[in-house]
Amino acid sequence: QVQLQESGPGLVKPSETLSLTCTVSGGSINPYYWTWIRQPPGKALEWVGYIYYGGGTSYNPSLKSRVTMSLDTSKNQFSLNLNSVTAADTAVYYCARGKEMSRIIYFDYWGHGTLVTVSS
């Protein structure tokens, strides 16, 4: 059974960098789209972006200038860095596996999510 687990600091100061890691167990890194999705308190889910197993990336344009994703296939992990954070980046961050079938991508496995609060 595939499992995803987010890890990282739960509190980040304004203007600093939010760094999260997702560890994948029970399955291979390829050929999937490794994705971050977040949910600010009381708001809808927001797609942050993905990194493909081959290394290509796609980011939400609203965050693109501040986001970097990376993949460590040797550890079955992928990571999110979001710099220059503000209170608006406070959210539950989920990692998820994107699977493609006939050009349809769907997110079939998710982590339980980790709350990251931006506050001084």
Partner 1 sequence: DIQMTQSPSSLSASVGDRVTITCRASQSVTTYLNWYQHKVGKAPKLLIYAASSLQSGVPSRFSGSGSGTDFTLTISSLQLEDFATYYCQQIYSTPYTFGQGTKLEIK
Interacting residues with partner 1 (CB under 8 A) = 4, 44-47, 58, 60-62, 94, 96, 101-113
Reading phi first (left if > 0) and then psi (alpha if -120 to 50, else beta), residue 24 is in beta
Q: Tell me how far, at minimum, the Cβ of 56 lies from partner 1, in Å.
A: 12
Query: With respect to partner 1, which residue has the nearer C-beta, 4 or 80?
Result: 4
- For β-strands 114-118 and 11-12, DSSP reports them as parallel
49: Cα within 13 Å, side-chain hemisphere: 23
- Minimum CB separation of residue 21 from partner 1 in Å reads 17
Q: Do residues 54 and 64 touch, judged by C-beta distance below 8 A?
A: no
Who contacts 61 (Cβ-Cβ below 8 Å, separation ≥6)? none
Question: Smallest gap, in angstroms, from Cβ of residue 31 to partner 1?
Answer: 17
Q: State which residue, 88 or 104, has the beta carbon closest to partner 1.
A: 104
Nearest-approach distance from CB 13 to partner 1, in angstroms: 26
Q: Of 12 and 59, which has the nearer Cβ to partner 1? A: 59
- Tell me whether residue 71 or residue 95 sits nearer to partner 1 (CB atom): 95
How many CB atoms neighbour CB 101 within 10 A?
7
